[in-house]
């Protein structure tokens, strides 16, 4: 166990690291942020920081020497860097979970291997392979890069009349995955925490609305049948166990019109669809993350309020005044400076207390 007073090393300097550092501080921990940007939302709230490239081995070794445990707030840390760190200090979740979550093909293969349903998919390594994969999967599909894709980056939707050569080059022409286009009734996610003793605590499934592939709104709880909610939660727990994960796992899923639950994506870290838990639950996802990573017992994920979380994307950050005029709204700003289109600048959670 890392006791309060210890230092948690976090790879990544964004808002997830910022909110983790704030929760860690409440429990008496310090956070040391490692990221290439000298100024970042997480570094603005922590005294300890390293500014270096994720591949800088000397900086990684110094960072490891300065902290008690290491985690990450985004997946795209080079696997080799995580191996360097893991030889020096505990890294939670471990390199295996990261390797799977970094690669959409490995992720889907892993899910299949543990009997979790996903959209149908094929690996595509060339334009010719894309044509064949479209023949097998069907003309309505999504082409995604296998690595480094997030918030819809590196994604191309394919329909009957799509020019496949153009789609292939738009995707980036690297290794890709073609998935069948799911005609979903809703998109949901479940965040589950898993402690070092294997204990799990899952938050209620929430419903996610996207705008241009970026999360716009999370509705907690999701408006789905209790039986579907139970299945979604069971899937999230199952995946966390099979990954032998210590930390947090967000599982993004599609609920199809005929009630099937298909897993779309895994994120082994705090997740945007869990921001509502800061204001609406006994234990927030960030506190739960700190507890799990430090080997403390998990807290209750129970919610005292229903909630709707709205991301403030780009210029929407100007709405901060409106949020403050609603007494049941909780405003969170990430201190990112100038807004850019689609950039996550903050969020507002509107609460409806449960009686
Ligand atoms: P991802 O980067 O995989 O999380 O995808 C971002 C968003 O694109 C998802 O939240 C969905 O709204 C949409 N999307 C991704 N994959 C599919 C799919 N196979 N079928 C339908 N919509 C998808």
44 by DSSP, 3-state: which? helix
For residue 137, the CA-to-ligand 1 centroid distance in Å is 16
Question: pLDDT per residue over 152-175, tens digit each?
Answer: 667 899 999 888 888 888 888 689
For residue 107, the CA-to-ligand 1 centroid distance in Å is 14
Q: Within its chain, how far is the Cα of 243 from the centroid?
A: 15
Residue nearest to atom 12 of ligand 1 (CA): 213
φ, ψ (nearest 5 deg) of residue 321: -65, -40
For residue 302, the CA-to-ligand 1 centroid distance in Å is 28
Q: Please report which confidence band the pLDDT of residue 76 belongs to, taking 50, 70 and 90 as the band edges.
A: confident
Cα separation of 92 and 71, whole Å? Answer: 5
Helix H or strand E segment including 314: none
CB 70 within 8 A of CB 89: yes
pLDDT at position 355:
78
Cα separation of 46 and 67, whole Å? Answer: 13
Tokens of 107: 């992720």
The answer to whether residue 149 scores a pLDDT higher than 70 is no
For residue 247, the CA-to-ligand 1 centroid distance in Å is 24
Question: pLDDT per residue over 221-261, tens digit each?
Answer: 999 999 999 999 999 999 999 999 999 999 999 999 999 99
The answer to whether residue 266 scores a pLDDT higher than 70 is yes
Which mutation among 178, 264, 266 tests ligand 1's pocket best, with the greatest number of atoms within 8 A of CB? 264
Cα separation of 248 and 317, whole Å? Answer: 28
Which mutation among 152, 209, 214, 265 tests ligand 1's pocket best, with the greatest number of atoms within 8 A of CB? 152
Instruction: Locate the ligand 1 atom nearest the alpha carbon of residue 252 and give its number.
Output: 4
For residue 265, the CA-to-ligand 1 centroid distance in Å is 9
For residue 254, the CA-to-ligand 1 centroid distance in Å is 9
Instruction: Locate the ligand 1 atom nearest the alpha carbon of residue 180 and give its number.
Output: 19
Sequence-distant (≥ 6) Cβ neighbours of residue 187 within 8 angstroms = 207, 208, 209, 210, 252, 253, 254, 255, 264
Query: Could you tell me the pTM of the whole model?
Result: 0.96
Residue nearest to atom 11 of ligand 1 (CA): 213
Question: pLDDT per residue over 171-211, tens digit each?
Answer: 886 899 999 999 999 999 999 999 999 999 999 999 999 99
Q: Could you please report the per-residue DSSP string of 268-286?
A: SS--GGGTTHHHHBSS-HH
CB 12 within 8 A of CB 32: no
Across the strands, what pairs with 352?
306
Residue nearest to atom 8 of ligand 1 (CA): 213
Q: Of 157, 160, 183, 167, give the one whose Cα is nearest residue 129.
A: 167
């Amino acid at each position: 166990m890392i006791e309060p007073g210890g230092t948690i090393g976090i790879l990544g300097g964004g808002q997830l690291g910022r909110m983790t550092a704030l929760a860690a501080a409440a429990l008496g921990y310090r956070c040391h942020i490692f990221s290439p940007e000298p100024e970042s939302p997480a570094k603005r709230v922590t005294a300890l920081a390293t500014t270096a490239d994720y591949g800088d081995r000397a900086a990684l070794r110094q960072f490891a020497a300065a902290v008690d445990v290491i985690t990450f707030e985004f997946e795209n840390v080079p696997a080799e860097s995580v191996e360097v760190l893991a030889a020096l200090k505990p890294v939670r979740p471990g390199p295996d979970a990261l390797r799977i979550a970094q690669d959409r093909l490995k992720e889907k293969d892993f899910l299949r291997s543990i009997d979790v349903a996903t959209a149908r998919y094929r690996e595509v390594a060339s334009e010719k392979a894309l044509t064949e994969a479209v023949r097998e999967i069907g003309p309505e599909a999504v082409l995604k890069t296998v690595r480094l894709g997030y918030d819809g980056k590196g994604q191309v939707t394919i329909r009957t009349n799509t020019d496949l050569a153009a789609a292939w080059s738009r995707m980036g022409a690297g290794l890709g995955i073609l998935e069948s286009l799911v005609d979903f009734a809703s998109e949901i996610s479940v965040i589950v925490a898993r402690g070092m003793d294997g204990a799990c605590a899952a938050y209620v499934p929430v419903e996610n609305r996207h705008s241009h592939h970026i999360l716009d709104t999370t509705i907690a709880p999701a408006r789905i049948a209790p039986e579907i909610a139970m299945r979604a939660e069971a899937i999230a727990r199952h995946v966390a166990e099979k990954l032998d994960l210590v930390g947090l796992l967000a599982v993004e899923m599609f609920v199809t019109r005929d009630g099937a639950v298909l897993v779309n994506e895994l994120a082994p870290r705090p997740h945007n669809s869990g921001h509502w838990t800061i204001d609406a639950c006994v234990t927030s996802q960030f506190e739960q993350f700190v507890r799990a990573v430090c080997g403390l017992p998990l807290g209750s994920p129970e919610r005292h309020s229903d909630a709707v979380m709205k991301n403030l994307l780009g210029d929407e950050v100007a709405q901060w005044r409106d949020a403050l005029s609603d007494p049941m709204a909780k405003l969170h700003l990430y201190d990112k400076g100038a807004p850019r289109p689609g950039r996550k600048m903050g969020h507002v959670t509107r609460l409806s207390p449960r009686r």
